Amino acid sequence: MITSVAFTTVHCQDQERAKTFYTEVLGFEPYRDEPMGESGAGRWIEVGPKGADTRLVLFPDADRAGGLTSFVLDTDDIVATCADLAERGAEITVQPKVEAWGSWWAQVKDSEGNEIGLAQRPRASDPR
Considering the entire predicted model, what is its pTM? Answer: 0.90
* Number of CB atoms found within 10 A of residue 71's CB: 14
pLDDT confidence band for 127 (50 / 70 / 90): low
- At residue 121, the pLDDT reads 81
40, 90 contact by CB (below 8 A): no
Q: How many residues appear in the chain? A: 128
Q: What is the mean pLDDT of residues 1-19?
A: 95
pLDDT in tens, 73-91: 999 999 999 999 999 999 9
Q: Give the span between the Cα atoms of 28 and 45, in whole angstroms.
A: 12
Beta strand 55-60 pairing with 7-12: parallel
The fold adopted by the segment(s) 7-120 is 2,3-Dihydroxybiphenyl 1,2-Dioxygenase; domain 1 (3.10.180)
Domain boundaries, the chain: 7-120
How many C-alpha atoms does 5 have within 13 Å on its Cβ side?
10
